[in-house]
Every structure is written in structure tokens, then in C-alpha cells.
Amino acid sequence: MCSGRVDLAFVLKAFLKGMDGVFIGGCRLNECNYVTHGNYHALNMVLLFKRIMEHIGLNPERLKIEFMSAADANIFVETVNGFVKTVKALGPLGEGEGITPRELKSRLAEMSKLVPYLKLVNQEKLAAHLKTPEEYDGFFTKEEIDGLFRDMVSYYIDPEKCQACMTCLRRCPVEAIVGGKNKIHVIDQDKCIKCGTCLEVCPSRFDSVRKISGEPVPPPIPEEKRMLVRKGKEK
């Protein structure tokens, strides 16, 4: 019902399913029936996603948001007709941009994995209420988005410090931590959504989780070396 419910993940899913364009229709700004004003959130999400589209080589014109009331049939018709015309002129998604279907799928899938991280780091801006359309353009800049991906954080469990308490494994929202009783825990970087929960919950006396930025994540400790030998129990 509310455009604020349109998540970044939904837009990505539409593109992943082969849609050539995505249009979001929201209530007029400042006319929201609820205190949430979700249409502002939808607008900010679109502004962010347009920059992300540029970053991955897609034409941002393939995504559009417009605000109108239920009585604005003429605006709706004009907007949708105009959008369909734009998307048709751009051609099929990826093909119009010179990206192979395989590469397109891989770029979109990579972004889908990062949705929770992108929402987390842009939390404040996504909640902003922009006053005028003039503010839209510069709200998210190309430099900002390029920097976001350049300085992307990763999380790593130091095998020298992990005490296999299993707290992080239980709290990870996507089961990205591999471990078990008396086994040094390891983060599966392909599954990790960079939420930072493991860093928060690892007991300070162990301090085993590291936040890494701007450098490669060390390779995981080999499976056969993950058994934890506790002090005093060594033969």
C-alpha cells in the first residue's frame, strides 16, 4: 500500500527477473496519511539506487518515481506513457548498456547481497525529508557511492583469538558463520551481509572479530586446523 514499503531488494529483484524498467508511484509528498511519510523514504531509496545503477553500468533512467493522488489519473497516464517510451528507447536491460546477460546477472546478484549493508550505511540519509526537487540531484553523489564501494568493510574472525563461544554463530542473521563446539569460527564471506553483529556480540574478553576496510580479508583457517586446543589441555 505504501511506497515506503518498496525496498531496494524489490527493485533489484525486478531487474534480476528481467524487467527493463521499474516505476514506483507514491502519494504526493506531505500528503501521507501516516506519521511515517514513507514516500520520502521511497524517494531517497530511488535516488540512492539510481547512483548504484550508474556504478554498476546501468542507465538510471530505467528507474523512476513519481508522486500523485488517486485523483491524478491524467498525471499517472502521462507519467507511465513517458516512462514506457524512455525505457523502450533504452532497449533491453543490459543490452542497451553493452553488458552481457551473464555479467548483468552477476552485478545485480552482488548488489542484492549488499542491500542490508547499503541500507545500514545510508540509514540517516534514507530517512531525510528533501524539501525541493532541486535537492534531489546532489543528494547522493557519484563520488560518495564510488567511495562506499571502495571503502567497503568486511568482518574477519582472528583464529588466534576465537574461543569458540558460539555467540556470533547464533546471532548472525544469515548463517554466514561456520563453527561449532570447540571449533574456531570462520566467516563465509560469500554469505556475509556485513551487518556487523558478530563484531558487536563477540565478548570483549575475546575480542576476536576484526572490521577490515581497504585491504583484502585473510584467507580462512583450513578446516583441519579449526579444532580449538585450550590451554592446559595441550598434550
For residue 26, report the phi and psi dihedrals to the nearest 5 degrees.
-125, 165
Beta-carbon contacts of 130 under 8 Å, excluding residues fewer than 6 positions away, are 40, 43, 44, 136, 139
Contact between 196 and ligand SF4 per CB under 6 A = yes
Which residue stretch of 20-28, 72-80, 92-100, 198-206 sits at the interface with ligand SF4 (rule: CB under 6 A)? 198-206
For residue 115, report the phi and psi dihedrals to the nearest 5 degrees.
-55, -50
DSSP 156: E
> Of 18 and 218, which has the nearer Cβ to ligand SF4?
218
Report how far residue 10's alpha carbon sits from residue 28's, in angstroms, rounded to the nearest whole number: 21
> Of 97 and 183, which has the nearer Cβ to ligand SF4?
183
> Of 34 and 149, which has the nearer Cβ to ligand SF4?
149
User: H or E stretch including 143?
Assistant: helix 142-150
Contact between 130 and ligand SF4 per CB under 6 A = no
Binds ligand SF4 by CB under 6 A, chosen from 53, 58, 172, 186: 172
Beta-carbon contacts of 211 under 8 Å, excluding residues fewer than 6 positions away, are 153, 154, 155, 196, 199
Contact between 185 and ligand SF4 per CB under 6 A = yes
Min dist CB 60 to ligand SF4, Å, is 28
In the shown chain, the binding pattern of residues 132 to 171 toward ligand SF4, with x for contact by CB under 6 A and - for none, equals -----------------------x-x----xxxxxxx---
Which residue stretch of 54-62, 76-84, 184-192, 223-231 sits at the interface with ligand SF4 (rule: CB under 6 A)? 184-192
Q: How far is CA 35 from the centre of its chain?
A: 25
Sign of the CA dihedral 200, 109, 43, 135?
Answer: positive
> Of 113 and 125, which has the nearer Cβ to ligand SF4?
113
> Of 64 and 226, which has the nearer Cβ to ligand SF4?
226
For residue 47, report the phi and psi dihedrals to the nearest 5 degrees.
-60, -40
Binding stretches for ligand SF4 (CB under 6 A): 155, 157, 162-168, 172, 174, 176-177, 179, 185, 187, 192-198, 202, 206, 208-209
